[in-house]
Amino acid sequence: LFRKCLANPTYLNHLNDCIRYGFYKYDNVYHDIKPFKLYEKYSREDVLRLLNWERFMNGQNIGGYKIKYNTCPIFVTSHKREDISETINYEAHFIDKVTFNWMSRNNRKTSSSELEPLINYNGLDVELFIQKSNDEGIEFYYIGKLTPITYKQVYRNINGKDQPIVNFKFKLESPVRDEIYSYFVND
């Protein structure tokens, strides 16, 4: 049956177009050793697959970040809804095109074992993914690799109680492109 289809010039032409497109897409998007392409969009599940996590984890269970297998994908929504719970209203923003401010989950201290790989940074693969708002769906823009610069213990008043949280400043591997930077820092 396939040989018979190949005898049809129209079918053969379409097949060759598909093959050429596959090679084109590989050469221009997928040939890089790095699993992510700057400013492309990925869902949490896509990120976990591309990081080759051995056991599939539901992306929603990650929340804002997860450290596993010497990798740490960080997912940020830059413009949160006004009615969002204070417990998940973290301060995460660009300081400039190469510096990013980010906060851990609530009730975390610099002594938390969860944050030890970031605090005692030694080559952990930290990747930043951002979406402007939840209205954008489930995909996040890949912004690039991060390296921790500083961290400090801070406390936020949530529902009348001081909650510990760790504030990090990261350096981006590459400066954020102008239009992407403007998209996230302007309302």
Mark residue 153 as left, alpha or beta (left: phi above 0; alpha: psi -120 to 50; beta: remaining). Answer: beta
Closest CA to 144 of 108, 82, 186, 99: 99
Q: What is the pLDDT of residue 58?
A: 63
pLDDT tens per residue, range 114-160: 999 999 999 899 999 999 988 888 999 999 999 999 999 999 888 88
Q: What is the pLDDT of residue 134?
A: 83
**pLDDT exceeds 80 at position 26:** no
Q: What is the pLDDT of residue 95?
A: 95
What is the distance between the alpha carbons of residues 80 and 91, in angstroms, rounded to a whole number?
10
**pLDDT exceeds 90 at position 52:** no
**pLDDT exceeds 80 at position 69:** yes
**pLDDT exceeds 60 at position 101:** yes
**pLDDT exceeds 60 at position 88:** no
What is the distance between the alpha carbons of residues 90 and 78, in angstroms, rounded to a whole number?
9
Q: What is the pLDDT of residue 125?
A: 95
Q: What is the pLDDT of residue 64?
A: 86
What is the distance between the alpha carbons of residues 154 and 162, in angstroms, rounded to a whole number?
9
Q: Cα 64 vs. chain centroid, distance in angstroms?
A: 9
CA dihedral defined by 119, 51, 84, 179, rounded to 10 degrees?
90
Q: What is the pLDDT of residue 159?
A: 84
**pLDDT exceeds 80 at position 57:** no
* Percentage of residues of the chain with pLDDT beyond 90: 58
Mean pLDDT in residue range 3-27: 89
